[in-house]
Structure 1
Amino acid sequence: MRRLRWRAGVLAALLGSALAGTGLAMPPAAGATAGRAAVASVVSDTRWVATGLGYRVLDVPSSRGTARVHLLTVDLREGRVSVGLLYPGVVAGRAPLSALADGAGAVAGVNGDFFNLSEAQHPGVPATGAPVGPAVAEGRALKAAVPRGQRFGPALPPGTNTRMVLGVDGDGRARLGELALSGEVRTSEGRIGLGGLNQYALPVGSVGLFTRDWGSVSRLRATCGTDTDRGAPCSTETYEVRVRGGRVVGVADAPGAGAIAAGTQVLVGREAGARWLRGLAVGDQVWVGHRLVPVGGEPDVSFRFAVGGYPVLREGRPLTGMDAVTSAVRSAAGVADGGRRLLLLALDGGQEFRSGLTVVEVAALLRDLGASDGVNLDGGGSSTLVARMDGADAVRVLNRPSGGAERPVPNGIGVFVRP
C-alpha cells in the first residue's frame, strides 16, 4: 500500500499515474477545504471493468477514523459507454442494486436517491419506497419532487431544494440541474395546475397525477404530512378521480391502491385540490398534461436520464451550510471534465470503516478527485456499488453494505457498455 500526502488537497498525484494516457487524467483541484483528511492511501490500482470504466479503492482518514472509498470512473467520451436510471419498473418499488443492474444489463452502478423508507408517524399508512426527487428514464419523466419538508435525508444546504438532480443531457454530458413539474388539469369548467407526479407526498391543497409508472402501492401516503412537516397527520379532505380516454370513469373519497392500467390517469386531491376534483362527475371530459422542465441555467437542456440528489459541490466549490459534524457511510456522484467524466463512489460499511465521512468531507473528496459538481446520494444501509469484474456475467457488490447485506433501493445510476 502506498501512502501519498495530498498537495493542497489534490488527488492528482494519487490517480494521475494510473489514468495517464487513458483520457481520464485528473485536472488540478482548488485549495484546501476544512474538515478534509491530510493523508490518503491507494488500496488498489485501477482495474478496468470495461472500456472507459475503471474501478479502484482509496482509504481516506478523518478525525473519526478511516473511510474506505470504492470509486468508479466513467469516461462518457467513449462512444460505447452510457449512463441511465436503474429502477424496478415502477416508482413505488424497491430491489437490491445488483438485481436492478443485472436486470437492465448494466455493467456497473451505484445506489441513487433518498426514499420513503418508513411511516412510523402515520400508523396504518404503508411506506411507498418511492424516491424523493425527480426521476427521468430514457428521456421520459417518471416522477417529480416532493415538498422540501417531506423529504428524507440530511438537511438541504441553503439555496437548494428537492428538485435538484444529477443527470445526462441529450449531448451525453453529465450535469447537475433542477427539474420542476409543469402540468395542469383542464375541463370545460376550468383548470387547475398539477402539484405532483407519482409522488409519495403532495403539496397541501394540490392535485397530483399518478400513472402506471407509480406501481400498485397505495396512494394514501400522498395526502399525509404538510409541506413543512413530514410527520403531520394525514389530510381529512381527499378525493380521487380516474380518467381514461379523456373522460372521468370513476371517483372515490379516498386515494386507492392497485396497479394503474395503461392509458389510465389517476388524479388525487387534498384540501383545495380535493374540492376542485369533487366538481367532476363520471363521463365529464378531462385533459391532463405534464412535463418536467429545467429551472434556471440553460432552459433548453433536456435530460435523457436524471436522478434526485443532495447537491454538495458546484463549480468547484463546496456549498455552504452543510453538516460538518455528522459522519456516516455515504454514496456520491461527481461531474468532471465538463461533463465528459462521471465519478461514482460508495463508502465501505465494514465495521472498521463505518465511521464514514461528513457531507462536507464528501464534497471535498469529490473536488479533489477532479469533480466540479457533485451530489450526495442515499447512504447508510443503502450505500452500494456494483460492477462486473474479471469478465463475469453478473455484477457483484464491491463495497460492504453497513447492514450486512444489500438494502432494496428504489433507483440507482447504471453504467452501460455496448458490445
Structure 2
Amino acid sequence: MTARHARFRTVLGLLVAWGVLATTGLVAAAPAAAGERAWTRLAPGVRYRQFDIAASKGPARAHLLSVDLHDPRVSVGLLYPGAVGARATLSTLAGGRGAVGGVNGDFFNITETQHPGVEATGASVGPAIADGRELKAAVPDGQRFGPVLPPGTSTREVIGVDGEHRARLGRLALDGSLRTPGGQLALGGLNQYALPVGSVGAFTSDWGSVSRVRATCGTDTDRAAPCSTVTHEVTVRGGRVVSAAATPGGGPIAADAEVLVGREAGAVELRKLHVGDAVTIRHRLVEARSGQPYRFAVGGYPVLRGGAPLPGLDADTAAVRSAAGIADDGRTLLLLALDGAPEFRTGLTIAELAAVMRRAGSVDAFSLDGGGSSTLVTRDPGAGSVTVRNHPSGGAERPVPNGIGVFSRA
C-alpha cells in the first residue's frame, strides 16, 4: 500500500467514524470539544457522563447516569421525603439516603392559583411505590400537571424495577373497595391530591400532614374547575368509624388509621356512616399489563417503547427535561437530565427526547418532570455528599416530591 493510499484510508475511516457519531445526535462538535466527556465510574455498575446535543431550537447539554442492574451490588429505589404530600430538593433526598446518584421524578401539584385559599399539596401525579410499599395511586388524567400526554397514555403510567431486579414500563391501576354496614363501595383514590368526581378516596399515614381539601377540587377533565361543595370525611381506626366531618381536614394521620374523603355521590355515601360503624378498607395497585408487582415505581409517561417513539409526540415545544431509559432487557437503566444553564435552556422537544434516549441505548424510555425540576446528582467515590451535575433552570434546586435514587453496596 502506498503512503498516499494509507493517508486516504485513514481520513476515510475518521470521516466514517465521525458520521456515525454525528447521526446519533450525541455530539455537536469534535469529540474533544467542550461538553463532551468520557464516562466517570461512580461505583461498580454506575457511571456518569455529559454530552452536548445539536437540537432544533438550540444547543442542549445532557447529563447521563448508566446503571447496571446485572450487578448485585447495585439497586434503584424511590427517593421521597417520607410523605406523599411533601417536597425536598433532590440533593437532600439523595444525600440523606446515601445514594451514589439520582434524578428527579414525577410531575406534581406545584401550584393552586385556580383555587384561592387551597393549599398546593406537592404530591405527585402518578402512582408511587417505595421498597414494595404502595404509597399512592394516580389522579384523573384531566387533573395532572405537565405537558399533554401522548395519545393512548394516562396518569397511571410508571417506570420501575420489579422483584427480578429488572427495570420496565407499566401501568398501575387502583383496585380498592370499602365494606360498610350499607354494602360495598368502590374506592376511587389512594393518597391523591385529586379524586374522581363522585368518588371516595383513602388517605393513610403515608400522605403526611398537608390538607386534604385539594382532593375535592377540579373535575376529571378540568383541573381548574371549582372545588366541590358536597364533601364529607370519615376517620376509621381499628376497623371502626371514630370521627366524621363535613369538610376534609389536615394534620398527621395515625399509623393505625385511615381517613376517607368523599365528594358528591361519594360524600353522600360517607354521610350514612356513624361513629362505631364497622368499615373494612382494601386497596392495592395492580399492574394492568403483566400483573407482576414492582419493588419501586414512579410516574411520568412513556416516549419510547420497543425501540420506537410513541405516535403523536410533540415535536414543537422545547424545554429542559428529565428522562429514564431501559436497555439490555431491563438490566440497564439510563437516567438523564438536561442542563438549565442560559446557553442550553431551550432544551429538547419530547420527540427529540425520545430520539436522544434511543441513541443513548434505550429500547424503552420515559419522560419525567422537567423545567425547573430537572436535576441530576452524583456522589464521587469517597465523597461525603452528592453534587448537582446540571444547572437547574430556575437558578437553584426546586423541591420535588420524589426521584429515582441509585445505590451501591460496594
Which residue of 126, 130, 138 corresponds with 1:145? Answer: 138
Answer whether contact 1:110 1:413 (CA < 8 A) is retained: yes
Tell me the TM-score normalised to structure 1 length.
Answer: 0.91
Q: CA deviation at 1:279?
A: 0.5
Q: How does 1:306-325 map to 2 (within 5 A)?
A: 306-325=297-316
Identity of aligned residues (%): 66
Answer whether contact 1:39 1:61 (CA < 8 A) is retained: no
Answer whether contact 1:75 1:342 (CA < 8 A) is retained: yes
**What are the Cα deviations for residues 163-220 of structure 1, in whole angstroms up to 9, with x where unaligned?**
0000000000000000000010001320101100000000000000000000000000
Q: CA deviation at 1:7?
A: 6.0
Structure 2 residue 366 is the aligned partner of structure 1 residue 400: no
Q: Return the alpha-carbon distance in structure 2 between the equivalents of residues 376 and 411 of structure 1.
A: 14
Q: Return the alpha-carbon distance in structure 2 between the equivalents of residues 341 and 105 of structure 1.
A: 21
Answer whether contact 1:200 1:219 (CA < 8 A) is retained: yes
- SS of the residue corresponding to residue 36 of structure 2 reads strand
Q: Return the alpha-carbon distance in structure 1 between the equivalents of residues 381 and 296 of structure 2.
A: 28
Q: How does 1:20-419 map to 2 (within 5 A)?
A: 43-296=36-289, 298-299=290-291, 301-419=292-410
- SS of the residue corresponding to residue 283 of structure 1 reads coil
Q: Return the alpha-carbon distance in structure 2 between the equivalents of residues 205 and 8 of structure 1.
A: 54
- SS of the residue corresponding to residue 221 of structure 1 reads helix
User: Which residue identity is paired with 2:404?
Assistant: I
Greater helix proportion: 2
Answer whether contact 1:5 1:38 (CA < 8 A) is retained: no
Q: CA deviation at 1:227?
A: 0.2
**Aligned counterpart, 2:19:** 5
- Taking a change above 3 Å as real, the CA distance of residues 363 and 161 of structure 1, as seen in their structure-2 partners, is same
Q: Return the alpha-carbon distance in structure 1 between the equivalents of residues 367 and 57 of structure 2.
A: 19
**What are the Cα deviations for residues 23-72 of structure 1, in whole angstroms up to 9, with x where unaligned?**
xxxxxxxxxxxxxx899976110000111000001100112211000000
Q: Return the alpha-carbon distance in structure 2 between the equivalents of residues 324 and 179 of structure 1.
A: 28
User: Which residue identity is paired with 1:400?
Assistant: H
Q: Return the alpha-carbon distance in structure 1 between the equivalents of residues 192 and 361 of structure 2.
A: 34
Q: How many residues align?
A: 393
Q: CA deviation at 1:4?
A: 3.8
Answer whether contact 1:109 1:412 (CA < 8 A) is retained: yes
Answer whether contact 1:94 1:410 (CA < 8 A) is retained: yes
- SS of the residue corresponding to residue 276 of structure 1 reads helix
Q: CA deviation at 1:9?
A: 4.2
Q: Return the alpha-carbon distance in structure 1 between the equivalents of residues 382 and 336 of structure 2.
A: 21
Q: Return the alpha-carbon distance in structure 1 between the equivalents of residues 369 and 18 of structure 2.
A: 29
The runs of 4+ residues in structure 1 deviating greater than 3 Å are 2-11, 37-42
Q: Structure 2 stretches of 5 or more lacking a match? A: 1-14
- SS of the residue corresponding to residue 99 of structure 2 reads coil
Answer whether contact 2:172 2:287 (CA < 8 A) is retained: yes
Q: CA deviation at 1:8?
A: 8.9
**Aligned counterpart, 1:29:** none
- Taking a change above 3 Å as real, the CA distance of residues 38 and 290 of structure 1, as seen in their structure-2 partners, is farther
- SS of the residue corresponding to residue 45 of structure 1 reads coil
Q: Return the alpha-carbon distance in structure 2 between the equivalents of residues 352 and 273 of structure 1.
A: 51
Answer whether contact 2:43 2:381 (CA < 8 A) is retained: no
- Taking a change above 3 Å as real, the CA distance of residues 8 and 315 of structure 1, as seen in their structure-2 partners, is farther
Q: CA deviation at 1:390?
A: 4.2
Q: Return the alpha-carbon distance in structure 1 between the equivalents of residues 231 and 258 of structure 2.
A: 17
- SS of the residue corresponding to residue 356 of structure 1 reads coil
**What are the Cα deviations for residues 92-149 of structure 1, in whole angstroms up to 9, with x where unaligned?**
0000000000111211100000000000000000000000000000001000000000
- SS of the residue corresponding to residue 267 of structure 2 reads helix
- SS of the residue corresponding to residue 149 of structure 1 reads helix
Answer whether contact 2:326 2:333 (CA < 8 A) is retained: yes
Answer whether contact 1:39 1:60 (CA < 8 A) is retained: no
Q: CA deviation at 1:391?
A: 2.2
RMSD: 1.8
Answer whether contact 1:9 1:38 (CA < 8 A) is retained: no
User: Which residue identity is paired with 1:276?
Assistant: E
Q: Return the alpha-carbon distance in structure 1 between the equivalents of residues 181 and 112 of structure 2.
A: 39
**What are the Cα deviations for residues 227-279 of structure 1, in whole angstroms up to 9, with x where unaligned?**
00000000000000000000000000000000101101000000000000000
User: Which residue identity is paired with 2:303?
Assistant: V
